[in-house]
Structure formats: C-alpha cells, structure tokens
C-alpha cells in the first residue's frame, strides 16, 4: 500500500542538522505513526513520503520554509520578569506557554537581564534545514474515527 492522503503511516526516523548533530530520533521508541495529509508532520517530510510504501527508505533535506519556517525576529521581545509569577528562577532555555491574541503559544527564554526577560516565540528549529533518514514501517487505511479526528488514535 502506498502512502497517500488518509493513510496511517508508521515511520522510524533520525533527524540531523547540516552539521550532522542528531536532533531527534525514534530509535529506542515505537515508530512514529501519523495520518498522512492531515498536517500532523512538517510539509516537506510529508511530501517526501508521498507514494512510498512499507520497507522504503528516504533520506531528505527539508528547507526551513517546508519545515518550521524562517526565523522571525518580531517574535522575540522583552517582557517584565513579573509576568512569570510563581517561578523562582528564570534561565535561558526555559520554555513557557503564553496566552496571546492568536491563542496559546510556546515561548523560550533567551536572556534574563535584571527585571527584563527576552522571550522568543519562534519554533526552536525555525530557520534550520532538517535532514531526515526515514524507514517506512507500515502503511494502513485510517479508521473512520481517525479520519474524523484528524490524527492517529493508536499505532495498531
């Protein structure tokens, strides 16, 4: 069965940056299962997997515009430390969920300078080309419930 819209796909993968640093892997875990065509994985990887089938391997470099987008400097801002009520120590790299006009958004602390905290709402991999090595483990039809909900309910 080929990978196409509304198929459940299970993959094993490793993800590296252009320097060869391992950023993520499914090694030691169950394969990643997703509903193809539902926007559950980055667009560039989904496109690269289209038409593949169980047993196929894919090595692909995904540019930022087809992954997590380019970095947007306007998503970085300085906010008062008092916004982090109940947190005793703030350090670069810490992540928080912020409520914005567009809804909930994850922000990462970049710098703490006295009473000012620089936060960045860019995805940590924004602006980074991504290199995937993928093995297709399984392709199956999605259930009616998975199609209705837009995601895999369990890796069957």
Fold of 7-68+126-149: Chitinase A; domain 3 (3.10.50)
User: Is residue 55's pLDDT more than 70?
Assistant: yes
| C-beta neighbour count of 79 within 10 angstroms | 15
Query: H or E stretch including 132?
Result: strand 130-141
d(CA 30, CA 116): 42
pTM for the whole structure? 0.83
Indicate the average pLDDT of the chain.
94
User: Is residue 156's pLDDT more than 70?
Assistant: no
Domain with CATH 2.40.10.330 in the chain: 74-120
| pLDDT 10s digits, 84-141 | 988 989 999 999 998 878 788 899 999 999 999 999 999 999 999 999 999 999 999 9
Domain with CATH 3.10.50.40 in the chain: 7-68+126-149
| pLDDT 10s digits, 23-32 | 999 999 999 9
Quick one: pLDDT at residue 103?
83
User: Is residue 145's pLDDT more than 90?
Assistant: yes
d(CA 28, CA 147): 28
Quick one: pLDDT at residue 104?
87
Quick one: pLDDT at residue 98?
84
Residue 52 CA, chain-centre distance (Å), reads 21
Quick one: pLDDT at residue 94?
95
Please calculate the CA angle 46-97-28 and round it to the nearest 5 degrees. 50
Quick one: pLDDT at residue 57?
98
Q: What CATH class is the domain 74-120? A: mainly beta
């Amino acid at each position: 069965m080929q990978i196409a819209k509304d198929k459940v796909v299970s993959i094993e993968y490793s993800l590296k940056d252009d320097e060869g640093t391992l950023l993520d892997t499914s090694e030691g875990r169950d394969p990643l299962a997703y509903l193809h065509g539902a926007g559950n994985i980055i667009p560039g990887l989904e496109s690269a997997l289209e038409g593949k089938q169980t047993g196929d391997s894919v090595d692909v470099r995904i540019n930022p515009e087809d992954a997590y987008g380019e970095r947007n400097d306007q998503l970085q801002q300085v906010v008062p430390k008092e916004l982090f009520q109940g947190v005793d120590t703030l350090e670069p790299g810490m992540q928080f969920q912020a409520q914005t006009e567009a809804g909930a958004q994850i922000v990462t602390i970049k710098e703490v300078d006295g009473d000012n905290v620089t936060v960045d709402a860019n995805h940590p991999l924004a602006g980074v080309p991504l290199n995937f090595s993928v093995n297709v483990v399984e392709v199956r039809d999605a259930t009616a419930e998975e199609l209705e909900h837009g995601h895999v309910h369990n890796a069957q």
